Amino acid sequence: MGMRRMPRKEVRPRHLKRQRDVLCDVMLAAGTCETWLTLVELSRLTQYGEASISAQLRHLRKPQYGGYVVEKRRREVAEVMCSVEHGPVWEYRLRRGAWRERIFAAAPRGDGTTGAAAKIC
């Protein structure tokens, strides 16, 4: 008997984005207009499940996936609308990590100065 061949890993076409990339794009776009989004809202926008969105937000904090800062706060308006058994509703915002801001701020610009005053969004 010969060696058994392992199935090939499917190659993702370049035009198809990973779930993490789609979520990152949506969150960064929302951040440009200072919008906070709940998991339900993100699920409606991306068509992904809330649990997997939550996992992808955790991944986006890791340096190998961008080292983003994922901010979380309780949505006050939802307290009136949600019942006691459901608990609070959390909303999220994504921004670039501080290490990344320092790198870009210290990078020399074309005119020889640094971009310390430039805002990264």
pLDDT tens across 5-57, in order?
666 666 666 667 899 999 999 999 999 999 999 999 999 999 999 999 999 99
Question: What would the DSSP string read from start to end of the chain?
Answer: --PPPPPPPPPPPTTSPPHHHHHHHHHHHHHHTT--EEHHHHHHHH---HHHHHHHHHHHTSGGGT--EEEEEE-SHHHHHS-TTT---EEEEEE--HHHHHHHHHSB-TTSSB-TTPPP-
pLDDT tens across 84-95, in order?
556 789 999 999
Tell me, what amino acid is at 3? M
Measure the CA–CA gap between 27 and 14, rounded to whole angstroms.
Answer: 21
Q: Is the pLDDT of residue 118 over 50?
A: no
